[in-house]
Structure 1
C-alpha cells in the first residue's frame, strides 16, 4: 500500500472538487429539456467532442486490459483491438455525416426511422433495455472492477470503499450536469489522464529495478514480447491476432466505441455535433489518439512490470491481501504504480480517477438516454413532459450506477468481458454497415441476427460443445469459433431478409429523404420498384464510395504508420522510425487531397 502526502491529497481532492463544480455549474441549463440533458443542444464543436471520445475510452480497465494481454502474449496481442481502426475510419468517412443528418436523439431511435411497424418498435425497446441497461452494466462493471483493483493494491481499500468513494462523486456530477457536464469534464479528464499515463511510463521505465529503456528492451523476460506484429512462424498467432481481426472481426462484431457503422456513445457525440463537418472531425481525432498514440505509455509499463513482477505468483507475494478471485496479470499495472514517488503519485491517482469518472459518466448518460428516449417515452408515458423526462434520466443514472457496482464485485478481469462482448456481437456488424445502403434489409434481419448470435455464442461457450467441436480433439481448430459464429449468423439473417417482406414504401422513402445515403441499391429501388415518384436525388453525387474507400485506406495507413513509428522511436530503431515517419507525412498529404474532394461533395 502506498503512502500519500499532503500534495497528493491536494491534487486528488482538488480534482474531485473541480468535477463536482462543473456538474453543478451546468446543471441548470442541462436540466432545461431532454435534448439539452442528453445532447447539449446539438451545438458541440469537433475538438471538444473528439477529446470527449478519447477520454471516455481511456478507462481504468483499459491499461489493465493492455497489461494483461502484453504480459501474456506480447505487444502484438493488441491487434485484437487495433483491428477495430478500420471500423472507426468507416465511421469517420462514411457514417459520421449520415448520423448527423439523421437528427436523432439516440442511435436506437434509428430503428423507427429505418424500419416500420411492430418489429421496429420491438427492436427499439429491446435494444434500449439490452444495451442501455444490461450491456451497459457489464461495461461499467469492468471499469469499476479495475478501480477496485487499483484501490486495493495502491490504497488498501476494500472493494466497497472504492465504489463508494469514486462512484458517489461520479454519479452526482453525471446526474446534475447531463451530457454537457460529461463533455466539459472530459476535456479536463483527458489531459489529466494522459499526463498521468505518460509520467508514470517515463518514471517506471527508469526505476532501478528496470534500469532504463535499453535495459528493459534487452531483459530476457521482455525480448520475446516486443514485436508489434505477431510471429509469422506461429500460424495460430497469425490467424487469431492478425488475420481474423483484420479480415472478419472489424466488420462483423459489435463492440462499444467501435461499432460497425457507428453507434453507442460515439454516435451520441456525432449527434451532438454542430454539423456534419464537426461530427467527422471529432471521430477522426478520436481514432488517431485512440489507436496510434495512447497505447504506448500503457505498453511500456506492462513491459516494465515483467521485469519487476515476472509472474502472477510474484504479484501475489508482493500483495498478499488481494483476494484470489481478483488476482491476475492485469494487476501488474496497479502494482507498478505503487513504486511512484509522491507528487507524481498524486497526479497518477488523479489521472486514474479521471479515467474512471470519464468512462462511467459517459456510460451513465448514454445508457440513461436509451432508457428515457427509447423505452420510457415510447412505452411508459408517451405524453411525458420534458421536466419528467429529465427527472427520469437522473433516476435511471443512479440505478445504473448501483447495479454496475454490485456486478463488479463478482468479476475477475477485464479480458473476460472483452471476450463475452466480442462473441455476443459476432455476425451482427454487417447489418449495421449495410442497413444504410441496402434497402432490402428489414427489422426481421436485425432481430434474427441478434437472436442467432446470442444463442450460438452461448452454445460455443459450453464446455461440452468446446470439447466436441473445437481444439485438439474437435472437428475445428480453437480459433475457428469466432468465424463460425459470424458465418452461421450471417447466413441466417440474409435468408430471413429474403423470406420476409421489405419495409413499406413510405418508411423507406422517409428514411432516404432524411439521410440521403445514395448508392446503386437505392437507385434500383426508386427507379425500378417505386418509379421515383416524389424522389428527386442525384444518386451519383450522394454516393462517393470510391473516394471514401481511398480515404479509409489512407487513414489506416496514416494511423498505423504513426503507431509503428512511435514504437520504433521508443525502441531506438532510428532508421526504421525515420522511414515510417516519412510514410506518415506522405499519408497526410494524400489524405488531405481526398478529404477536400469529399468535403466539397457533401457540403
Structure 2
C-alpha cells in the first residue's frame, strides 16, 4: 500500500510539531526535577485528564479491542478491561485528594512517608527499578510491538525500521520537554487520534465489502457477537469475562493506568495538578473518556474486520509479507485501515503514530522520574544538583526506549502483555487500597506482595510455554490462584511483623488527613463511587444501544446517566 504526498505531509507535519513543542518547552522544563517531572505542579484538570486518556490511547489498544471482539465472546469480551472502571472510580472519590495533599514528587516517595526504617528505603529503591524499569519496559514493549504491526501491515516496514524511526522522534521530545512537553503533545495527539478513529470507522462501515452499519450488524459473522453482556447460561465464558473481573480482578490486581488507589503515571498527573479539586476532576474525566468515549469506533472496526477477514488465514493471504511474530487477530485493525483513501489514510496513520508517541512519552517520563528521584538521587548521589538530575533523567529516557524496543521482538500479541501484566500484579491491589487506612500494613507487607505475585506470574508464564504443562489451569484460574496466594501471603506477613512506628504514622496522618477523621464524608464518597460507575457504564451501553438501533434501551441509559450526574454533583459538594 502506497502513501500519497498529502499522507506524507500530514505525518511529517505531526513529527515536526512534536519536536518543536519539545524544543520550545525544554528551557522551562529543564530547570529542576519538579519542572521536568511535574511541570511545576500548576496544571489544570482538563489537560491532565486528556493526557491520561491519550496515554491509554496506546497503539496496542485498538488491536487489543479488535482481538477481544474477534474472539468467540465478541463485544462482551471487553469486560476484561471494562471492569477496571471500578478501580478508577475508587481513585476518583477516595484517593485523588490524598495523593495531591501528599506533596511528593513521585508516588514511590509514599513509602518513606508512610513507613520507616531501612525496609522502607529498600522498598522505595527496589520499586523504582522494578516498576520504573522492568515493569515499564514490558509495558512499552507491547506498545512497540503494536506500532510495528501497524507499520508492517500498512507501510511494509520491518519492525526494526519502524522502531528506529519512531523511537528517535519520541525520545527527542520526551527528553527535552519533560512532563510539560508530554502534556502539550498529549492534548494535540488525543484530538488527532479521536478524529482519526471516528472518521476511519465511518468510512470502513460504508465500504462495499461491509455494506453499512445495518448490513454489518445483520451479517452472520457478526450478529452473534453483539451482546454487551456475556451469556449467563455459559459459565465457560461468564466466569472469566464477567464474574472474575467484576467480583475479584478490579480490587485485587495492579495494572498500569488502573492501579487500585492510584499510582504510576496516573498518580504523576494527580501530583502535577493545581490543587485537590483539579486532581480529582482530572481522574474523573479520564475514566469517562477511557471507558465511555473511545471504545465504540474500535469495536465497530473489529466487527467489520470479521466480514472482510473472517479468520487468520484470510489475513495471511491478504498480507503475505507479515512477519511471523506479528501475525495475530490484533493485526485485523491495521488491516482494515488499508482500505482508507489518500488524505484520510495519512490522518489515521498520524493518529496511530500520535497514540504510540503519547503512551511511550508518558511511560518514558514516568519511568525516568523513578530512576532519578527514587533511585539515583535517593541512593547514588544524594547531593546531586538539579542539572545533574535532569541529565540523568534524559539518559534514562534513552535507555528505557532502547530496552523496550529490544524486548518487543520477543513477544507476539497485545493480549499476551495484558495477561502477563495482570498476573504480575495479581493479589497486590487490596494492599494498595488499605495501606492509607490500615496502620498495621508495613514495608514487609509490600515486599511480600510484590515478591509472591512476581514468582507466581513467572511460574505460570513458564508453565504456559511448556509443551506439556505441569499445571492444567485456565487463564482466569491462574489469576484467581495468584490473587489468593499473594493476598494470604502479604496479610500473613503483615500480622507476623511489627507495624510502622507511631511517630511516622502520626506525621503521615497529620499531613494526609489533618485534623479530620480518615473516614470523613465516607458515605458521600461511596455515593459518588456508585454514581460515577453507573453513569459511565450507562453512557457506554447507551451509545451501543443507539448504534444497534435499540432506541428505548438507549434512552433509558440517558435517564440513568442523568440521575447519576445529579448524585455525583450532590456528593461532590459534600466532599469538597
SS in 1 for 2:250: helix
Instruction: Kindly provide the CA deviation profile for residues 459-510 of structure 1, in whole angstroms up to 9, marking residues without a partner as x.
Output: 3342589955545xxxxx7633222221111111111111101111121111
Which residue of 2 is the match for residue 595 of structure 1? Answer: 572
Q: CA deviation at 1:457?
A: 2.3
| Aligned equivalents of 2:460, 2:224: Cα separation in 1 | 32
| Secondary structure, counterpart of 1:146 in structure 2 | helix
Unpaired runs of at least 5, structure 2 = none
Q: Is 1:278 aligned with 2:275?
A: no
> What is the match of residue 490 of structure 2?
493
Distance in 2 (CA, whole Å) between partners of 1:465 and 1:87 is: 36
Q: Does 1:23 align with 2:22?
A: yes
Tell me the distance in 1 between the aligned counterparts of 2:253 and 2:375: 25
Q: TM-score, normalised by structure 1?
A: 0.93
Mapping of residues 77-88 of structure 1, within 5 Å:
77-88=77-88
Q: Which one is further off, 575-584 or 389-398?
A: 575-584
| Residue equivalent to 2:341 | 341
Which residue is 2:32 aligned to? Answer: 33
Contact 1:426 1:485 in 2 (8 A): yes
Deviation (angstroms), 1:335: 0.3
| 1:539 matches 2:505 | no
Kept in 2, the 8 Å contact 1:470–1:481? The answer is: no
* Residue 71 (structure 1) shift: 0.3
Does the aligned pair in 1 maintain the 2:527–2:567 contact within 8 Å? no
Of 83-92 and 484-493, the range deviating more from structure 2? 484-493
The answer as to whether partners of 1:204 and 1:301 remain within 8 angstroms in 2 is yes
Partner of 1:551 in structure 2?
528
> Is 1:570–2:547 an aligned residue pair?
yes
Instruction: Report deviation, 1:458.
Output: 2.5
**Aligned positions, number:** 573
Cα distance in 2 for partners of 1:465, 1:119 equals 41
Map 1:216-235; keep pairs closer than 5 Å. Answer: 216-235=216-235
TM-score (norm 2): 0.98
For residues 64 and 201 of structure 2, what CA distance do their matches in structure 1 show? 16
Q: Aligned partners of 2:262 and 2:136: how far apart in 1? A: 17
Q: Structure 1: 5+ residue runs without aligned partners?
A: 472-476, 518-536
Q: CA deviation at 1:584?
A: 1.1
How far residue 5 of structure 1 moved from its aligned partner, in angstroms, is 1.3
Q: Is the 8 A contact 2:521 2:574 kept in 1?
A: no
**Partners of 1:425 and 1:586 in 2: CA distance:** 35
Tell me which residue corresponds to 1:132. 132
Q: 1:284, CA displacement in angstroms?
A: 0.2
- Are positions 1:583 and 2:560 aligned together? yes
| Displacement after TM superposition at 1:597 (Å) | 1.1
CA contact (8 A) 1:64 1:331 kept: yes
Deviation string 1:253-301 (CA, Å, 9 cap, x unpaired) is 0000000000000000000000000000000000000001101000000
Which residue of the partner structure matches residue 523 of structure 1? none
Aligned-partner SS, 2:322: coil
Task: Specify the SS of the correspondent of 1:4.
Answer: coil
How do residues 440-451 of structure 1 correspond to structure 2 at under 5 angstroms?
Answer: 440-451=440-451
Aligned match of 1:9: 8
Distance 1:459 1:83, change over 3 A: same
Superposed counterparts of 1:374-393, under 5 Å: 374-393=374-393
CA contact (8 A) 2:15 2:169 kept: yes
